[in-house]
Structure 1
């Protein structure tokens, strides 16, 4: 909890960040960025963390590598980070961005690691904007919620993707909010049977299936339902299902966040919390967001991979206009999933940056220089359908590598 005794690392990081401007700057996004930069800079001389994933291995082995990296204890997560993709030619900061994006993507979609009977294990469960920690005991035993906290905090420090969709009730308890003011709702309960019981008790209709509800109440040390206590009992059941059953998971989650050094920011700048845990709708990428970030190619400085073009300048301009127009059409009409795949292919993760460059080049297929945030598109396309087909094929490689030549 917030009042717990800080570790030696936390005390050092708190001392370092006490005099920085992140406390007074008005924009919470800027506060988070300044805090992260200051914390990483203060640890720039620490021994680097190395994260290497072999993309030639199957998904389970890759996911195990990620989890193993974040399961290590007594690690200074603010140390310099160096990531490597074995089996891919990409190097530099783009690989770090790719890795942070992959980590958050796995937390959202699930890890290909068998805990229990499922082939894919989700650390959080429920509907969008109401995710809560899974109650699977094996995840708790394996310290997976500490892992989740480390992953989310680490990504934030390196200006990576945030973790969207977490229940406001879980965020409230996670950040030390009192139980009595927890904003829990029926949408926070992923168990449909418990939802049915809560809805039945909360309504005015005749109580049915009392035996099942009674057994549920007994298992959670609550009294049997009756006409007098039904509404009170519905609230207690919901609170227990969402909060009380996940207390240990939340404590682990909190521990992982603290270990990244992020806790000091969160307790002093509560306005940063919605940035760390945005609503899913707020985390969406719109076509206009991407278009506003693009630096389009100059007609004069068209760059080609193999040689300097000496053909008619008008022809060059037409190629640039045509292919750039195809990209604009693609962005304006792509699904949310394809937009995020495009950005990840382009810069290494799904968060648009202020200058996403486009070049029209002599090449066979689209490629990306993620370290330079640059997308290279072949000039030979004369039909949008062909452009669309090739670009979709290339960006689909972003979760296994960069597709770079």
Structure 2
């Protein structure tokens, strides 16, 4: 089980207390999420273990097919214990589980290489950040890919892994039973630029004669020709159709996948948890201060190879620890959000910062990570920040192609 306890909760808390519904009454949504997930996983601890294996020696398409095949399985008890393996890598333990969960969500966001319909990348959701909606692809729908997406997101959330950011508020509204009339639709929710342009023209001051062909873009709706009194209604009707009505079956399939992971009672009873499951894209960004607040800095050097150790080096060791720690702090303070996520993924296995991320200064050639122990090991030999920066960037860039160990 791979979960991270929220601050302020005791490690020894009796898991049976959450089975009484404590998650319904705790003060924060993070606590509710953690208690509910912990209880659900604990109650199914004796179920048959789910084994998810990725061969990192294979190309991206084969890896993606393995992930999708795992989540396409029917009648699976998704709350059962999870064991992930990376074939072609010696890494073991919970760090591998975290890495695989992070990879699942990353692939869902970036698209799968499945050669589906002769398209290089199959994107389950389309649109701009914070306005993503389900793809209108009939092929994805027929292949049950929206249920797959629901299972992936729910499974990661259940294990306190990465959430899925950027989903349109209008889709979230409908997903959880909101009415069409109150859906918070905006023009940004429409990913089709031709339709978006038509809506903008209808809302503007375009000459009616210029607008006349617009209704021909939507024959299934059997829309009337635009005029001075109906143009606003037409723009709203077209937007509703483009965002909600055309994706209704996808949304229903997506909901089915989420429900199968066992999270639905939490999401229905604790609406304040929904923004954690589907955060805004900006809220999902990792800031330097968030990372710095989670770090346990070293107080001394750790020497793995005793032959390097000199009894008279105590003072230089302290200087090494201070210098390398300063380099890491400088890197974090100046890193982009994407670089910070890669660093955290390299460090602990996924992009969600842990509450205690440890740093060790060691005798080594390159930075390495022990993800199971949430520990970053940095060589002491760097005397210039430029060299440190280059090596660290090279190492963390491996986090999405492999396990992230240098």
Corresponding residue number in structure 2 for 1:255 = 256
* Partner Cα separation in structure 1 for residue 96 and residue 209 of structure 2: 57
Please say if 1:306 is aligned against 2:305.
yes
* Partner Cα separation in structure 1 for residue 336 and residue 195 of structure 2: 34
Aligned runs of 1:21-60 on 2, under 5 Å? 21-60=22-61
Corresponding residue number in structure 2 for 1:90 = 91
Q: Which moved more, 1:226-235 or 1:68-77?
A: 226-235
SS across alignment from 1:359: strand
Asked if the contact 2:95–2:372 (Cα under 8 Å) also holds between the matched residues in 1, the reply is yes
Corresponding residue number in structure 2 for 1:385 = 386
Alpha-carbon distance change, 17 to 327 in structure 1, aligned in 2, over 3 angstroms: closer
Asked if the contact 1:52–1:83 (Cα under 8 Å) also holds between the matched residues in 2, the reply is yes
What is the deviation of 1:17?
Answer: 7.2
What is the deviation of 1:201?
Answer: 1.1
* Partner Cα separation in structure 2 for residue 265 and residue 82 of structure 1: 24
SS across alignment from 2:360: strand
Corresponding residue number in structure 2 for 1:325 = 326
* Partner Cα separation in structure 1 for residue 361 and residue 209 of structure 2: 67
* Partner Cα separation in structure 1 for residue 128 and residue 187 of structure 2: 11
What is the deviation of 1:386?
Answer: 0.6
SS across alignment from 1:397: coil
Q: Which runs of 5+ in 1 are unaligned?
A: 1-15
Please say if 1:178 is aligned against 2:179.
yes
Corresponding residue number in structure 2 for 1:361 = 362
Corresponding residue number in structure 1 for 2:216 = 215
What is the deviation of 1:202?
Answer: 1.5
Q: Which moved more, 1:395-404 or 1:333-342?
A: 395-404
RMSD over aligned CA atoms reads 1.4
* Partner Cα separation in structure 1 for residue 133 and residue 209 of structure 2: 28
SS across alignment from 2:58: coil
TM-score by length of 1: 0.93
What is the deviation of 1:255?
Answer: 0.2
Q: Deviations over 1:227-257 (max 9, x none)?
A: 2211101100000000000000000100000
* Partner Cα separation in structure 1 for residue 18 and residue 246 of structure 2: 35
* Partner Cα separation in structure 1 for residue 171 and residue 223 of structure 2: 22
Corresponding residue number in structure 2 for 1:194 = 195
SS across alignment from 1:320: helix
Q: Which runs of 5+ in 2 are unaligned?
A: 1-16
TM-score by length of 2: 0.93
* Partner Cα separation in structure 2 for residue 371 and residue 209 of structure 1: 63
Asked if the contact 1:172–1:182 (Cα under 8 Å) also holds between the matched residues in 2, the reply is yes
Corresponding residue number in structure 2 for 1:63 = 64
* Partner Cα separation in structure 2 for residue 381 and residue 81 of structure 1: 39
* Partner Cα separation in structure 2 for residue 292 and residue 28 of structure 1: 21
Asked if the contact 1:53–1:85 (Cα under 8 Å) also holds between the matched residues in 2, the reply is yes
Alpha-carbon distance change, 208 to 289 in structure 1, aligned in 2, over 3 angstroms: farther
Please say if 1:204 is aligned against 2:209.
no
Asked if the contact 1:71–1:147 (Cα under 8 Å) also holds between the matched residues in 2, the reply is yes
Number of positions where the alignment pairs a residue of Structure 1 with one of Structure 2: 388
* Partner Cα separation in structure 2 for residue 382 and residue 402 of structure 1: 28
Q: Which moved more, 1:19-28 or 1:244-253?
A: 19-28
